[in-house]
Amino acid sequence: MNEKIMEAVEKVSPSVVTISTVTLAQDFFFRTVPVQGMGSGVIIDEKGYILTNAHIVGGADKLEVALSDGRTMEGAVVGTDTASDIAVVRIKASDIKAASLGDSDGLRVGQVAIAIGNPFGFMLGGPTVTVGVVSAVHRHIQAENTIYEDLVQTDAAINPGNSGGPLIDEDGKVIAINTAMIPYAQGIGFSIPINSAREISSELIAHGRVTRPWLGVVGTDVNDELARRYALSISEGAFIMQVSRDSPANMAGIKPGDIVIQFDNVSIDSMDGLRKAVGNAKVGEKHQVKVARGSKLLTLPLVLEVGP
């Protein structure tokens, strides 16, 4: 591990915490038994706010947070967002250090990525660290019941121990939040970009939940290569690859292979454009989506729902 990477790890380590959870469940004999869990988190505000994964703290009856200096204290869940696997926990503590947050919009494939976790707190004498590179950006992954969008892919190992902890760059700035919830991630890991996590955490801190319109598709930008490979009649738009079952898109009749070219009166030239148009739309109202399907242009009515 070179000197710059070690300096980056030392810079962020005081902000990385262990989160231990206890969830009450019933065993085979219907007895109430405690089920323990553990993950990591990163302090993002000296008021005691901690970013972590929703799957780590969701449903927990008790939380304990261990700081890098050995202090342990009770934590409270401020809010969770299962759609992004982001959660915010708060502790009442003084003399804590918030990590420096970077800008994930500027991530480049090939840059160094360092995954940090603190799965056993001060007992190990420091965090666990894996080093790799940013393998891809803007990845969309279909999980069992949801679609994770706009993820950072890295070959730095993401395991349950460092899930919820930060992915940092060589300057020690947090560029993403690690998640171990993504299936079939053998040899690769996925993280939530910090710009998205920052926006979600702000809503969780302000309102306790995130309300977002949901369309329920996975897609990619139409480009010259895609148009040539699939003999598309449209040179730009959002090419739909997957449609979630029981989603507004499915109910409206949007199918894989469709190209979304307009949402209401907004022209769509990319998946990012479609996400922004949906994000600015209202839940429960009727909207019009224009798609190219082969040589046909179809206008489909749909009603957006609140995201799962």
Residues assigned a catalytic role: 55, 85, 163
Nearest to 123 by CA among 42, 167, 67, 48: 67
In 46-154 the beta strands, taken as DSSP E runs, fall at 49-52, 62-66, 72-81, 86-91, 112-117, 128-142, 147-154
Integer angstrom CA distances of residue 106 from 194, 232, 300: 11, 31, 35
Q: Helix or strand or coil: residue 116?
A: strand
Buried-state track 40-67, b at ≥16 Cβ within 10 A, e below 16: bbbbbeeebbbbbbbbbbbebeebbbbb
Place of tokens 């090419």: 239
DSSP 202-266: HHHHHHSS---EE--EEEEE--HHHHHHTT-S-SSSEEEEEE-TTSHHHHHT--TT-EEEEETTE
The whole-angstrom separation of Cα 88 and Cα 39 is: 13
The whole-angstrom separation of Cα 252 and Cα 215 is: 10
Place of tokens 């730009």: 236
Q: How far is CA 147 from the centre of its chain?
A: 10
Nearest to 37 by CA among 124, 125, 163: 163
The whole-angstrom separation of Cα 147 and Cα 133 is: 24
